[in-house]
Amino acid sequence: MLRGADFVAGGLRPPSAAGVQGAPPTGIWRGKPIGNALRELDRFLNILGDEAARLLCLPITRGQHNTANKLHGIAALGLCRADHARLRALGRSRERLYHCNGRLTDDDQSESWMLAAGRPREAHGELAPMADGRIIVVTADDLAAIAAFYRRLAMMLRDAVIGATMTGGDKAALAAAHDLSSRCAMTAA
């Protein structure tokens, strides 16, 4: 999960040894690779949500592909409304990037991107004019902010599992939580 976040934060490039952030893809077809990278990052978080639910002895909703709704159902995570709204906006924006190369047709879609990218509401954002509307312009800062958001949610899942297992004292659950924590920490280094 964290390796995927690093890839997105690096402009869809593996993080360099020097930690230099790359620029996101540009050009006429740049929406599909950006949308795909965001889809994969979301899928990693979705699977991590399943594992956290399993370790917390909560019902696992494997058929629930909407990560925002899945994480909203994990009470121990304490997902706030703003995070839930941002995950939903990311879902809409990512699909726009993947399927429509980022083309927007109304103001609601541009609001979704501003929220997804973590931009303040007051920011007008970068939306290039198109003949049939506007197109999302994804900056390196947008990708870094989105990656940091996903990283934070992954750490919240890890912490919820570790916190629950520390109070419960179940050795098998504690070992599984440690394994989940190790997988998260292993990619952070």
Cα→Cα distances 85→11, 117, 126, 171, Å:
24, 12, 21, 36
pTM comes to: 0.78
What does pLDDT average to over the chain?
77
Domain ranges of the chain: 2-188
At 84-107, the pLDDT tens digits run: 889 999 999 999 899 988 888 766
The structure tokens listed for 139 are 């900056």
> Which tens digit of pLDDT belongs to each residue from 119-174?
765 554 454 444 445 788 888 888 999 999 999 999 999 988 888 766 655 555 55
Q: In this structure, how many other beta carbons lie within 10 angstroms of the beta carbon of residue 126?
A: 15
In this model, does residue 5 exceed pLDDT 80? yes
Point out the least confidently predicted range of 19-23, 75-79, 82-86, 137-141. Answer: 19-23
How many whole angstroms separate alpha carbon 126 and alpha carbon 24?
Answer: 14
Q: Which residue has the higher pLDDT, 57 or 110?
A: 57
CB under 8 A, 24+ apart: contacts of 127-130: 130/103
Higher pLDDT, 27 or 178: 27
